[in-house]
Structure 1
Amino acid sequence: MSQPPFSGDLHAVRQALQAGHVQAPDILAQAALAAQSEACRHVFMPGSPANPAETLKNAPSGDIGLALAGIPVSVKDLFDVAGQVTAAGSKVLAQAAPAQADCPAVARLRAAGAALVGRTNMVEFAFSGVGINPHYGTPANPADPATARIPGGSSSGAAVSVATGAALVGLGSDTGGSIRIPAALCGIVGFKSTARLVPTAGALPLSTSLDTVSALTRSVRDAVTVHEVLAARRVELTGKPLSGYRLAVAGTLMQDALSRTVAQAFERSLQVLREAGAKIVEIPLGEITELTAINATGGLSAAESYAWHRKLIAERQAGYDPRVALRILRGAGMSAADYIDLLAARKDWIARMEARLDGFDAVLSPTVPLVAPPIAGLLNDDTEFFRVNGLLLRNTSVVNMLDGCAISLPCHAPGQLPVGLMLWHAALHDDTMLDLALQVEAALAQSLQQ
């Protein structure tokens, strides 16, 4: 991966700003230049800032003590920003009326001093983990300058904006893995909080039961800061060492069909954590295999997206990405009784999963089972596209069905394509996930320096 225009995470930039070593306009100018690079083709939607002069108009003039003052932040094209069209990566909404107000997530970022540098491209209507958008182009994964690889989705542009330095924070959403998948494939950090902690109002819905508003960052400490802003709450960090954690490894399904690079990185990560004193226990978690039957009628995303799209897709289906339309229309065949049964089955499944995870601080698994494949092989091959999409969503979507929280951390060795390590648990274990992730991140970094 090419080096971003400034090193470090938002905390390093904030320290430089506070010390007077750099000015906010300089940071934003560097971000704007990064946004013009070849690596950022198709990252920002039409109408986003495209040059330093436009980006500098967003320079914050507020208190330098604000958590995000002077920090370039990108916004996924799913969120309402006052005066801008929320097109959700689709041409069928490109001429919709501009939003009259910022959604709560954007308003909270602005209140913390963030400089919004542009709206990022995404999978149309957020309905895929691959990252391909046939309408506006697909931003290539910057991890491999030699081959155009998928960025992961649906928060594709958000991840690439952070990985390239066009932003230090990428606001995104996660319904089945749309924060964690691109984080893993692009080699950055993606935190999916418990859904209820951050308002989803003003974000175009995919699944009202599963949608989560979160962000992509360069480090775990940045993830903590941004979550505190988005959730309007303080994260309680204990600093407990790894020797104080009891961790489970999901043995069922989540380690199936791993690519060699992913398998090696995952095993190396587990060894690092064991050597640091973490207590790691492999458990079967056979409940995960029940999800296929639970979602047999189409799943929550199909039913709930169809409820939102049914009038629009009836009138303008030809304007949709056919792969997205296909998945939305699966919801048309679900009856009200099927939907009620699905909600009840999910509730029962969550209760049983929480009982199985009792006594563990977190579960460890590969975020996704493969490294980013080339874009070219997926553009015109539906069979391969849906095979890859299913693999990408397989592990991450378990956490969304659990109504849980999770974080993906880079765990690959230098010279390898990015691999993500996912730490996860049930609802409202967010502070423990972030606390643990700080320790895991440090241990992995130290191991690579030895």
Structure 2
Amino acid sequence: MTLPAHPLHHWTDALARGVTSSRALTEQALEAASVSSQAGATFTRLHVERARASADAADRLRDAGLPMAPLAGLPISIKDLFDEAGEVTGAGSRVLMGSSPAVSDSAVVQRLRAAGAVIVGRTNMTEFAYSGLGLNPHHGTPLNPWDRATGRIPGGSSSGAAVSVSDGMSAAAIGTDTGGSVRIPSALCGLTGFKPTARRVPTTGVLPLSPTLDSVGPLAHSVACCALLDAVLAGEQPAPLRPLQLAGLRLALPRTLVFDGADATVSAAFAAACTALSQAGVQIVEIDVPAFAELAHINRGGGFIAAEAWAWHAALLESREAEYDPRVSVRIRRGSSLTAADYLELLAVRQRWISSVAHRLAEANASMMIMPTVPVVAPLLAPLQASDETYGSTNLLLLRNPTLINFLDGCALSLPCHRPGDAPVGLMLAAPGGRDADVLCAGAALEAVLRNRF
């Protein structure tokens, strides 16, 4: 038995009415993990007894009639980047397996526990979060739920996070997003994922990839789920979403870069979604964004990620590089050639780039953008394992659109926009930094249209 794919409010309501218990939900999640063929590649560590104890504690509080925290008794997974007291923060690697356990919880874990979440385990990921594909040669790669017979990737780097939700091993998951690592697996696995403005959620106790770009966000079954989890992570009071009125909502559709290399399935699903939104009253205006075409050149030396990853990994690579995934270590080493002058120039260029994008949106009288989250459906795993060249080109393709929003210092949702049963396709709704509430409220309205058309 697996945990059915219901949004979080379904479970909180069922718990409040006594239809189920936190222990029952947790047992369903743990049972799914115990029998799934993907569990070994989905989790790096399951917290079986601790999860049961947390669920029982939530049930006792509920039975006593006490006010319940917003996530009370809900089974949630966390990516293997977040410190938990007494646990080794492995980051999907072999290199850190012998490290000392964390002495305290990360800020994210503290907030989840305070909100009553039952943390069922730590999810697998691309080693050190340095890829959008989700492959991990150390712990295995969980297969995409859409097409396991053929064998397709889940996306990354939060690969295990997505599969833990899609396979009913958790009600929702917490991942990180430095260049799309929440949104890519959400899009490829048919989930909803939210990347907040980076500064909203503290990264204290989170193993870094790029402190400039790292953000923490949820993967779940609905926009409302993401909004609830985001409020908890940001230390805000959760409040019901108020979907925006779609009549007159004006969204910019960039034509620069974001459709390059798009396959027929993504193109058709995205076009159909835009038609449905237009019929619901959304004004979609196509714009050119020349800055988008410049980003690959700006990041040609590896950008913030290579520079900041090298700063963290340099000493470890010198002593233990043989234990790294070579496809990760080679990209980290790109940062070794970047100088302080290069880094300072990158900071200045980024600010000019952000201003340029904001100017194009203002000219279009649009505060938000839509685009495909990624331009292709989930790629096959085997060719990526077999070829460094295929791995590299596919990784760049999947990261391309989401990375635009990280460099923008923005916030974004990935919403499923495919017909049920078809290959998952994500529609990304994005805005410059600080517009998180607008994106979530608009996303809830778009979600209703996209779901109700079938």
Superposition TM-score tier, normalisation by shorter sequence: over 0.9
With normalisation by structure 1, the TM-score equals 0.96
After superposition, residues 186-335 of structure 1 pair within 5 angstroms as 186-234=189-237, 237-335=241-339
Report whether the alignment pairs 1:19 with 2:17.
yes
After superposition, residues 316-355 of structure 1 pair within 5 angstroms as 316-355=320-359
Unaligned regions of 5+ residues in structure 2, if any? 63-67
Which whole-Å CA distance do the structure 1 matches of 2:252 and 2:372 have between them?
13
Which whole-Å CA distance do the structure 2 matches of 1:68 and 1:287 have between them?
40
Report whether the alignment pairs 1:161 with 2:164.
yes
**Deviations for 1:56-103, whole angstroms, at most 9, x for unmatched residues?**
233252454211011001010001011100010000000100001110
Alignment counterpart, residue 430 of structure 2, candidates 409, 424, 435: 424
Which whole-Å CA distance do the structure 2 matches of 1:17 and 1:423 have between them?
32
- The alpha-carbon distance between structure 1 residues 393 and 155, as it changes in their structure 2 partners (threshold 3 A), is same
Which whole-Å CA distance do the structure 2 matches of 1:266 and 1:213 have between them?
26
Which residue identity is paired with 1:301? I
Contact 2:54 2:73 in 1 (8 A): no
**Alignment-derived partner of residue 79 in structure 1:** 82
Which whole-Å CA distance do the structure 2 matches of 1:415 and 1:48 have between them?
30
Alignment counterpart, residue 393 of structure 1, candidates 399, 409, 427: 399
**Alignment-derived partner of residue 58 in structure 1:** 54
Using the TM superposition, name which of 35-44 and 281-290 deviates more. 35-44
Which residue identity is paired with 2:434? L
Contact 2:252 2:286 in 1 (8 A): yes
**Alignment-derived partner of residue 38 in structure 1:** 37
Contact 2:144 2:151 in 1 (8 A): yes
After superposition, residues 94-109 of structure 1 pair within 5 angstroms as 94-109=97-112
Which whole-Å CA distance do the structure 1 matches of 2:4 and 2:332 have between them?
41
Which residue identity is paired with 1:56? R
| TM-fit CA distance, 1:24 | 0.8
Alignment counterpart, residue 4 of structure 2, candidates 6, 18, 29: 6
Report whether the alignment pairs 1:131 with 2:129.
no
With normalisation by structure 2, the TM-score equals 0.95
**Alignment-derived partner of residue 408 in structure 1:** 414
Let me know the Cα RMSD of the aligned residues: 1.4
Which whole-Å CA distance do the structure 1 matches of 2:343 and 2:51 have between them?
45
Which whole-Å CA distance do the structure 1 matches of 2:30 and 2:99 have between them?
27
Report whether the alignment pairs 1:361 with 2:367.
yes
Contact 2:5 2:221 in 1 (8 A): no
Which whole-Å CA distance do the structure 2 matches of 1:312 and 1:231 have between them?
32
**Deviations for 1:146-173, whole angstroms, at most 9, x for unmatched residues?**
2221010000001110111101121110
Which whole-Å CA distance do the structure 1 matches of 2:374 and 2:302 have between them?
22
Question: 3-state SS of the aligned residue for 2:253?
Answer: strand
Unaligned regions of 5+ residues in structure 1, if any? none
Which whole-Å CA distance do the structure 1 matches of 2:409 and 2:197 have between them?
6
Question: 3-state SS of the aligned residue for 1:255?
Answer: coil
Which residue identity is paired with 2:28? Q
Alignment counterpart, residue 122 of structure 1, candidates 125, 130, 140: 125
Contact 1:40 1:164 in 2 (8 A): no
Question: 3-state SS of the aligned residue for 1:57?
Answer: helix
| TM-fit CA distance, 1:244 | 3.4
- The alpha-carbon distance between structure 1 residues 60 and 194, as it changes in their structure 2 partners (threshold 3 A), is farther
Which whole-Å CA distance do the structure 2 matches of 1:161 and 1:60 have between them?
22
**Deviations for 1:192-232, whole angstroms, at most 9, x for unmatched residues?**
00000000110010001000011111111000100110001
| TM-fit CA distance, 1:55 | 3.9
Q: How many residues align?
A: 443
